[in-house]
Amino acid sequence: HKYSEEHAKRKELYNHIQETKGNIRVFCRCRPLNKEETSTKSATIIDFDGAKDGELGVITGNNSKKSFKFDRVYSPRDGQVDVFADASPMVVSVLDGYNVCIFAYGQTGTGKTFTMEGTPQNRGVNYRTVEQLFEVARERKETISYNISVSVLEVYNEQIRDLLATSPPSKKLEIKQSSDGSHHVPGLVEANVENINEVWNVLQAGSNARAVGSNNVNEHSSRSHCMLSIMVKAKNLMNGDCTKSKLWLVDLAGSERLAKTDVQGERLKEAQNINRSLSALGDVIYALATKSSHIPYRNSKLTHLLQDSLGGDSKTLMFVQISPSEHDVSETLSSLNFATRVRGVELGPARKQV
Ligand code: ADP
C-alpha cells in the first residue's frame, strides 16, 4: 500500500517534471588541471562563477567569453558524492519501472571513466548506482521482489563484444527486437547479482576482459564504448504485477577529432566509426528533444542498443566532461556545443566581455 502510494506520487512528480523540462538532463563536469598542466602553469579557461545556476563560461581569448547553460555544472572541487547525489533520483526511477540511460561524453582524458567507474577509493556512478539499487530494493522488500542482472559489453568498430563471456561467441552478436518491442542481444551473458560484492566481481571481470587482446588498454578504451546494462525485474507482492526495466551506464569513446594527417588504415576506420556513433547519438537525442517524428536509432550499434532507454518515458542523463586547460579549448568548445545541441536548447552566439 505504502509503496503504491509512493509510486503514484513519484510518477505524478515525474510526469510534471517531464512536461515542464523534458526528460533529458545534461550535467557538465570539469576535471582538475593534471600534474603536467600544473607544472607547465597551463591556464584555466573555465569560469565557474555561475556554476550553481548551471552556467559555465569558456574564456576563448581576447577577453571574450562563450557562455553555456546546463542542468548542473561541476567544478573540479565537486566530488563523486556531489555528482551522484544529483544523478540518484534518476537511478532510483529504474526500480519504479522506468528505463534510464546515463552516459559520459567528452575528449579522452577529461574524466569519463573517473565519473562512471571512478577508482576503488573514490567510486563513480556505476558502483554507487548498483549500491543504491540494492539499498532501495531492500527497503521495499515487504512489497516488491526485485531481480537484478547485469551485462557488460563493449562496442568497438560497430561490433558488439560481450565482456562477460568466458568463451568466444559461436556467431556475431546482433541486436534483436523481442515480441514486446524491447531490444536485446541474444547470447549476451546476463549475470544475476544479489549484492554489491557480486556486482563488483562482475565489473572487474568485464574490465579485465576489456584489456585482453589489446596492447594498449588506455588507447583501446578511448576508442570503444564501454556499456553496462542493468536489468531489473520487479514483482509487486501485493497484486502480482510484474514490470521490467533497464538502465544503461555508458562510458563513451573519446570524442576528440583526430588530425587528418594522423589517421590511416585501422585508425581511420576506428575514427570514422566513433564519429558515426557519437553523431548518431547526438542526432537521436536531438530528435527526441525537438519531438521529431523520426528518431534515427538504427544509424549506429550504440543508439540501436540504447533504443529502449532513449525516448518514450525513459530518462536520459548525459555527462559532458571537459578539461580546464587552455590547450584543450577547441575540443572543450566542441563538446560543449554538442551537449548544448543534445539539450535541444540552442543559445545564441553569446559573446560577453570578461
Ligand atoms: P577519460 O575516461 O575521459 O579518458 P579519465 O577518467 O581516465 O578520462 O581521467 C583522466 C585522468 O584524470 C585520470 O587520472 C583521472 O583519475 C583524473 N580525473 C578525471 N576527473 C577527475 C576529477 N573530477 N577529480 C580528480 N581526478 C580526475
DSSP secondary structure string for all residues of 153-210: EEEETTEEEETT-SS--SS----EE-TTS-EE-TT---EEE-SHHHHHHHHHHHHHHH
Give the model's pLDDT for residue 286: 85
Cα 149 to averaged position of ligand 1 atoms, centre (Å)? 28
For ligand 1, whether the C-beta of 106 sits within 6 Å is yes
Asked whether 319 and 29 are in contact (CB, 8 A), the reply is yes
List the residue whose alpha carbon is closest to atom 22 of ligand 1: 31
CATH code for the part of the protein at 18-345? 3.40.850.10
Burial 280-305 (b: 16+ CB within 10 A, else e): bbbbbbbbbbeeeeebebeebbbbbb
DSSP secondary structure string for all residues of 45-84: -EE-TTGGGTEEEEEEETTEEEEEE-SEEE-TT--HHHHH
Give the model's pLDDT for residue 12: 65
Give the model's pLDDT for residue 348: 39
Query: Which among 224, 236, 259, 213 has a CA at the least distance from the CA of 152?
Result: 224
**Count of alpha carbons within 13 angstroms of residue 164, beta-carbon side:** 19
Query: Which among 254, 151, 269 has a CA at the least distance from the CA of 203?
Result: 151
Q: What cell does 301 get?
A: 550499434
For ligand 1, whether the C-beta of 124 sits within 6 Å is no
Cα 119 to averaged position of ligand 1 atoms, centre (Å)? 10
Helix (H, G, I), strand (E, B) or coil at 303: helix
Q: What cell does 16 get?
A: 510534471
Cα 181 to averaged position of ligand 1 atoms, centre (Å)? 38
Tell me how far apart the terminal alpha carbons of the chain are, to the nearest angstrom.
56
Cα 302 to averaged position of ligand 1 atoms, centre (Å)? 23
Cα 143 to averaged position of ligand 1 atoms, centre (Å)? 40
Q: What cell does 133 get?
A: 539499487
Residue 328 Cα distances to 38, 45, 231, 274, 345, angstroms: 14, 9, 37, 19, 24
List the residue whose alpha carbon is closest to atom 20 of ligand 1: 111
DSSP 271: H
User: How is the chain split into domains, by residue range?
Assistant: 18-345
pLDDT in tens, the chain (354 residues): 566 776 666 666 655 555 445 688 999 999 999 999 999 998 999 999 999 999 999 999 877 999 999 999 999 999 999 999 999 999 999 999 999 999 999 999 999 999 999 998 999 999 999 999 999 999 999 999 999 999 999 999 999 999 999 888 788 999 999 998 899 999 999 999 999 999 989 988 988 888 776 777 778 888 999 999 999 999 999 999 999 999 999 999 999 976 656 667 888 888 889 989 999 999 998 888 888 889 999 999 999 999 999 988 899 999 999 999 999 999 999 999 999 988 874 433 443 333
For residue 75, report the phi and psi dihedrals to the nearest 5 degrees.
Answer: -85, 170
Asked whether 280 and 300 are in contact (CB, 8 A), the reply is yes
Q: Which of 114, 154, 218 has most ligand 1 atoms within 8 Å of its beta carbon, as the pocket-test mutant?
A: 114
ipTM above 0.95, yes or no: yes
d(C-alpha 25, C-alpha 90), whole Å = 10
Q: Which amino acid is at 20?
A: T
List the residue whose alpha carbon is closest to atom 19 of ligand 1: 111
Query: Apex CA 103: angle with CA 327 and CA 304, to 5°?
Result: 120
> With the CA atoms of 266, 163, 108 and 184 taken in that order, what torsion angle do they form, in degrees rounded to the nearest 10?
90
